[in-house]
Structure 1
Amino acid sequence: MEAIDNFYDAAGAAAGVHSSQLKLLTCFVLSYPLGSVFVRIPKDRPAMKHLFSIGVTLFFLWGMLKLWLGSLNVFGSALFTYFMAGRYRGKQMPWTVFGVVMGHLLISHWIRYMWPSDAVEISGPQMVLTMKLTTFAWNVYDGQQELESLDESQKETRIPKLPSLLEFFGYIFYFPAFLIGPSLTFTEYMALIDETLYKDVAPASPNSSKRVPVGRKRVAYQKLAFGISCIGFYALYGGKFNYTVTADDWWMAKPFWYRFLYTQIVGVVQRIRYYGAWSLTEGGCIFTGLGFNGFDKDGSTLWDKAANIDVMNIEFAPNVKVLLDNWNINTNTWLRNSVYKRLAPPGKKPGALVTMYTFMTSAIWHGIYPGYYLTFFLGGLVSSAARQVRTYIRPFFLPALLPPKSKVLPPPTLIKRVYDVLGTVACLVIINYMAAPFMLLELRPSIKAWTTLLWYGHVTVLGWLILGQAGGFRWLGKLVKARAEKAASKEAMKHEWWYFGRSAI
């Protein structure tokens, strides 16, 4: 092992990164051949599958990353959650788990903040663990409720019976997703183990017991190639196109239009490293058989259920909602199911305050650096502003009167396409501005970055919200309503006999 450590130390020094970062990348790549071993373990040997996954993860933690002490954090949070879920009933149980596990994560974040290092440490895997454990607690709680009180997603993920400790730790230590995700529910993991995930797929031949659909390797290797390409691109350009340039003297000497356009390039380059890491781990999950999502219209298998990003729907999102829904997908799902829905009053739609609480939970989950809170607080405002744009501006670019009971919009007109293009540009401009503190982390550099950009994001978002609260939304709402009523009146007139007579004159 010493020779391996020496190799990584030398490689890391040559690449200008900490050796543990290269070890982390190695763990991602190793998940591919190990996934091929995992998928070949017979479904009637579930204990072997659990033990294999646990063993690989412990090898990553201990053999590769040397996270001996950090492993105790994982075991501590996991055992506490399992004990609480097995011993206590009622809604206080998942909230207790949520508070304790998040508090434990915050301690790890505080240690990282006080003693910063480029080395890989346990807070990253612990973030994924927090999603799994809090989701598990809510799923056990849902398993105790009447089916009529649950929505469809809660019915699918509920856990009516506490699993064995081996099943639970197999889920917690599912190796391709342990280090940086994606997170998954316990029911998804067990469907992978017993292969009910492929219940609608016929075996390859009448005498074959293998049920894993074809196409798994092809898609996984595509993810591997894309992930490596993204990481390579970031290694070449990430140092140059970085938000830290906002502290350089040459930056302030440039005109605002230059700083504005440069920021848009920086935002894209900095996102690429996340695309790379998440694509690599998604491919590792697919190699184990996770991610199967049925068939497309041509009958080809789909393997996109373990995706944590949808690059096209991020870089070309027509609105903020689409962009946020396709960025860090599994974290968004966790926040929606474990925070947003749970904070909403029974029978009522969550309001702006619940949205803000959800964004702040995301900030706490990410860490204690001030930059996270600046980004996610603005994110809550952006989300509210985007919702108001969708309510009061978007209708003017759609037909005033849709066909009765129609849920499908007609083909977009030219003006609607222009609206979508402008929406895409606005999304990227706001997100690239909003991300600066998230990447800079500390308060002073974050404020300086926004100052050099003349606070254009805040001016735009707050200006729209203030204008709306001052009566703008009420006025726009009346225009939208009047437009619809006028269109409805014209539609009704077409059915009057005298209307056809006048139109013929």
Structure 2
Amino acid sequence: MDALFVPLASLVGASVDQVKLILCLLSAYPLGSVFIRIRSKPAKHAFNIAITLFYLFPVLHLYWGFVQLLGDILATYFVARNVRGPMMPWIVFTLVMGHLLINHIIRAMNGMSYETVEISGAQMVLTMKLTTFAWNVWDGNRPTEDLDKWQLANRVSKFPNLLEFFGYAFYFPGFLVGPYLVFTDYMALIDESLFKDAQGKTKPGLPVPEGRKRVAYRKMVTGLAFLGLFVFFSGKYNFAISLEPWFVEQSLPYRIAFYQICGFFERSKYYALWILTEGASILTGLGFSGFSASGSSLWEGAANVDVLSIEFAPSIKVLLDSWNMKTNVWLRECLYKRVTPKGKKAGFRSSMLTFLTSAVWHGVSGGYYLAFVYAGFVTTASRLARSNIRTLLLSPEGQPPTLAKRLYDLGGIFLSMLIINYAATPFMLLDVRKSLAAWSNLGWYGHVIVGGALLFFYGGGTHFLRRFQPPKPKAKPSSSGTATPLENFTTPPSFDKLIPPQN
């Protein structure tokens, strides 16, 4: 089939693998409309498997890659079904994450360009699915009073048959670049219980609420628009510009300002990929989240990115919560909370293990680890500012924000964008030396901002500001009698590559 893709790749000036990936994502739109009209549950599973195999075999030629993914799927199914006890999810986690790490190492040793599609991208998505499934199965065997809201909603009480599990693993709209979905959401899509609250606002012959196509194709147009921005402008506006001699010759304020423009176009490729896959998922029916006050259907459950909340985030926390949202959920629910002892507040150990896992999940390039070390300091500084400064500026309940709070939010938008573009540099450049050179050419401004904030807070600023804090209301005990360990948790960022690994 390459004869179909080579001329198109030459026409648009992209690699053949890039063209293949985008066309696979776009083909999921008409295929999603076919999927939702299939009424037989086994046929829906088979359709998912068939389409994904079509992507893997004649289009992408990932035959050995399929064998590897099949091994992960069967190993997870066997372990989750036959191993009893709390170690079961950790066994699955070790198997699939270890296999992913091996493929990351192989990719690095072979010096593969990130314009090359190989199996580790799809494997990253599958890793999230399989490890989440293992925890959901374990939660299905635990007493309900020991589970929190997310665990209770997603627990797997009835173990699936092999066809159901394969259908889940090979769900085609999100197979190549994500986002991933939990098994209970997949089965709710298959048996159409996802639409049980549609209250008659459905199309004749289908239980699916109206408005699905309108939202999905709007996502497709938006995704293609971001893809166009990346194609036409990324050659001039990208983070590698920071290493060029002409860039260094400019004044520092100019370099920092120009770099922020580069950051937007670097992000545009991720916006494109995730919004395209979100639209295709919506066409299959995934993502239905109820109705608005005006009665129109809402399709927010498949979202993986909130562009406006990223570009105009008043804080690092809001920004990271809006970026690669499904991966954030995976890290929080399948690692951060799981390594935190029951009844204890998550601390440094839980956070660092989560950061490390996110870095390993992305790959073995030194830039990932450099970025996550820096990100640890960023989240600490952000949390200290939020808890010590923001609380001083909040208005009484029911009152409009004060001028000081509005200025604080504006400053937060400005600083968040400065910091996130600085932090993303190693993720894009990957090489440690290049990343350090880029940071140096930017005057180390990110280190100055974050380091200055930490010096202030740990040098007496926290103690000083707490003298002016309003009294805290008494906390209401939770139903389990323990404090929630995630109140101030910010998920580690995950800046991804254009071609898989994508999530």
In 2, Cα distance between equivalents of 1:13 and 1:210: 42
Does 2:362 align with 1:366?
A: yes
Give deviations 1:232-251, integer Å, cap 9, x for gaps. Answer: 11100011111111221111
Deviation at 1:129, TM superposition (A): 0.4
The alignment status of 1:235 with 2:246, answered yes or no, reads no
Q: Would you say 1:105 and 2:94 are equivalent positions?
A: no
TM-score (structure 2 length as normaliser): 0.91
Does 1:260 find its partner at 2:256?
yes
Superposition RMSD in Å: 1.6
**Among candidates 149, 164, 184, match of residue 161 of structure 2:** 164
Q: Please point out which of 302, 307, 312 is paired with 1:306.
A: 302
From the two aligned structures, give the one with the greater helix fraction.
Answer: 1
Q: The residue matched to 2:338 in structure 1 has which SS?
A: helix
Structure 2 counterpart of 1:439, from 413, 425, 428: 428
Deviation of 1:107 (Å) = 1.2
Give the count of matched residue pairs: 471
Q: 1:460 aligns with which of 449, 456, 465?
A: 449
1:307 and 1:483 map into 2 onto residues whose CA distance is 35
What does residue range 183-262 of structure 1 map to in structure 2 within 5 Å? Answer: 183-203=180-200, 208-262=204-258
Whether the aligned pair in 2 keeps the contact of 1:202 and 1:211 (CA below 8 Å) is: no
| Alignment gaps of 5+ in structure 2 | 474-503
Aligned to 1:479, the other structure's residue is in SS state coil
What are structure 1's unaligned runs of at least 5 residues? 403-407, 485-505
Q: Which residue number in structure 2 is paired with residue 13 of structure 1? A: 10
Instruction: Report the secondary structure of 1:346's partner residue.
Output: coil
Q: Distance in 2 between matches of 1:378 and 1:125?
A: 27
Match of 1:129 in 2: 126
Comparing 412-421 with 253-262, which one deviates more in the overlay? 412-421
Distance change >3 Å, CA 307–CA 482, structure 1 → 2: closer
**1:424-479 deviation line (CA, Å, top 9, x unaligned):** 11100100111111100111110101111121111211222233223221222123
User: Does the CA contact (< 8 Å) of 2:212 and 2:282 recur in 1?
Assistant: yes
Contact 1:23–1:64 at 8 Å: present in 2 too?
A: yes
Q: CA deviation at 1:111?
A: 1.6
The letter of the residue matching 1:433 is Y
**Deviations 1:321-354 (CA, angstroms, capped at 9, x unpaired):** 1110010000001001001111112112212332
What's 1:26 paired with? 23
Q: Give the Cα–Cα distance (whole angstroms) in 2 for the partners of residues 220 and 343 of structure 1.
A: 38
Conservation of the 8 A alpha-carbon contact between 2:223 and 2:276:
yes
CA drift at 1:113:
1.1
1:428 is aligned to 2:445 = no
Matched, 1:92 2:87: yes
Distance 1:132 1:245 in 2: 37
**Residues 387-439 of structure 1: CA distance to partner in whole angstroms, max 9, x if unpaired?**
1101111122123xx4xxxxx55321222111111111110010011111110
User: Which runs of structure 2 are paired with 1:290-439 in the superposition (5 Å)?
Assistant: 290-399=286-395, 402=396, 410-439=399-428
Q: Which moved more, 1:143-152 or 1:342-351?
A: 342-351
The 8 Å contact of residues 204 and 210 in structure 1, kept in 2 or not, is answered as no
C-alpha separation between the residues in 2 aligned to 1:481 and 1:306? 39
Bigger relative contact order, structure 1 or 2 (CA pairs below 8 A, ≥6 apart): 2
1:247-296 CA-partner distances (Å, limit 9, x unpaired): 21111111101110011001111001100011110000000000100011
Segment of structure 1 superposing worse, 457-466 or 185-194: 457-466
For residues 162 and 471 of structure 2, the distance between their equivalents in structure 1, rounded to whole angstroms, comes to 61
Counterpart position of 1:154: 151
State the 1:481 CA deviation. Answer: 4.9
Q: Is the 8 A contact 2:243 2:441 kept in 1?
A: no
One-letter code of the match for 1:148?
E
Equivalents in 2 of 1:226, 1:142: separation in Å? 38
| Mapped partners of 1:482, 1:55: distance in 2 | 60
> Quick one: distance in 2 between partners of 1:239 and 1:108?
29
In structure 2, the residue matched to 1:142 is: 139
Maintained 8 Å contact 2:202/2:210: no
Identical columns (%): 50
Secondary structure at the counterpart of residue 145 of structure 1: coil
Q: Which amino acid aligns with 1:228?
A: L
Q: Of residues 51, 65, 88 in structure 1, which corresponds to 2:60?
A: 65
**C-alpha separation between the residues in 2 aligned to 1:241 and 1:205?**
45
Question: Deviations for 1:107-160, whole angstroms, at most 9, x for unmatched residues?
Answer: 111122122132211111110000000000000010010000000110000001
One-letter amino acid matched to 2:173: P
TM-score normalised according to structure 1 size: 0.91
Q: Distance in 1 between matches of 2:15 and 2:116?
A: 6
Equivalent-residue separation in structure 1 for 2:253 and 2:351 (angstroms): 33
Rg (Cα) greater in structure: 1
Give the aligned partner of residue 489 of structure 1. none
Q: Which amino acid is the alignment partner of residue 154 of structure 1? A: Q
